[in-house]
């Protein structure tokens, strides 16, 4: 995964700020003196895994290039309720105008990182890795992927362009798993991996015989995953085995112990429970 940074990050953040600020922050501009300065801390009101502080910092800095910032919690660390994540100081108007965008991103990213860590901990010791999916909010995928990585998870393909993933509708329209894999292999550039989703033992055998690099076992029981993993690993060139389908914290370890190399969890990003984080402000003398 390539982290979002530099001009690409600034472009995203400027768009988010423009959406929120529009023609101007009328409340702040009309009530807060232009020369007022303030110091603040970002307070975790709920326990969370830390993610997104560089994003929050840059959001504030775009409105106040002279922002003073100090991280107090390392990325990927666990912050208890009541912990200070960062301290900042600068122009009061800039801090207030950027507050909501910065907090929205920070709360979402900490929430994703926290959920990811729970899944990673749930499969600890099995050798299985937790992956995200493309089930992200449009415009936020790069931030969501960063948060998954901060929580100890791994990133699946970035989009439709960097890996082949043959799913049920592709199979139907191309005439089956084997034909879909063969056609993708014929067109794919060297090094691009081909993944095939399977929902029956017949489809699994087709995927194996046609040389899929990754086999995605979808919506099966742990017992079926165990049996299919054994079947897939009999040959000289065993594919990576991924399991998916309504994975919950209560179920995920059973699939890891069944032999899956990795488990993809859409809930990491499509059902985000945001962390509770606030900006606690104090006025400074001008």
Check 25, 144, 197, 203 and give the catalytic one.
197
Check 10, 71, 87, 100 and give the catalytic one.
100
Q: How many CB atoms lie within 10 A of CB 5?
A: 13
- Angle between helix 201-209 and helix 177-187 axes, rounded to 10 deg: 30
Q: How many CB atoms lie within 10 A of CB 203?
A: 20
Check 37, 87, 135, 157 and give the catalytic one.
135
- Which strands make up the sheet holding 68-71, listed edge to edge? 68-71, 83-91, 37-44, 277-284
Q: 167 an active-site residue?
A: yes
Q: 218 an active-site residue?
A: yes
Q: 250 an active-site residue?
A: no
Check 118, 167, 205, 227 and give the catalytic one.
167
Q: H or E segment at 17?
A: helix 6-21
Short-list 53, 47, 117, 113, CA closest to 85: 53
Take residue 6 and report the two structure tokens written for it: 């530099």
Check 199, 218, 257, 276 and give the catalytic one.
218
Q: Which residues are catalytic?
A: 100, 135, 167, 197, 218
């Amino acid at each position: 995964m390539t982290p979002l940074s530099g001009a690409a990050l600034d472009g995203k953040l400027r768009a988010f700020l423009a959406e929120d600020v529009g023609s101007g922050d009328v409340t702040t501009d009309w009530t807060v003196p232009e020369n007022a300065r303030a110091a603040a801390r970002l307070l975790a009101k709920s326990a969370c895994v830390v993610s997104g502080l560089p994003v929050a910092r840059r959001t504030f800095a775009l409105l106040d290039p002279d922002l003073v910032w100090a991280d107090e919690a390392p990325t990927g660390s666990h912050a208890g309720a009541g912990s200070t994540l960062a301290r900042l100081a600068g122009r009061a108007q800039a801090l207030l105008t950027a507050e909501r965008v910065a907090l929205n991103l920070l709360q979402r990213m900490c929430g994703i990182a926290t959920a990811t860590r729970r899944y990673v901990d749930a499969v600890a010791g099995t050798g299985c890795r937790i992956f995200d999916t493309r089930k992200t909010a449009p415009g936020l995928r790069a931030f969501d992927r960063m948060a998954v990585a901060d929580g100890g998870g791994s990133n699946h393909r970035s989009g439709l362009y960097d890996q082949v993933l043959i799913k049920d509708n592709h199979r139907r329209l191309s005439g089956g798993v084997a034909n879909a894999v063969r056609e993708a292999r014929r067109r794919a550039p060297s090094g691009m991996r081909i993944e095939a989703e399977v929902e029956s033992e017949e489809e699994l055998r087709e995927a194996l015989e046609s040389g899929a690099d990754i086999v995605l076992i979808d919506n099966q029981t742990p017992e079926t995953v165990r049996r299919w993993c054994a079947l897939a690993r009999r040959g000289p060139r065993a594919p990576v085995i991924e399991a998916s389908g309504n994975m919950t914290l209560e179920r995920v370890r059973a699939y890891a112990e069944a032999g899956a190399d990795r488990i993809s969890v859409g809930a990491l990003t499509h059902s985000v429970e945001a962390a509770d984080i606030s900006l606690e402000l104090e006025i400074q003398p001008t």
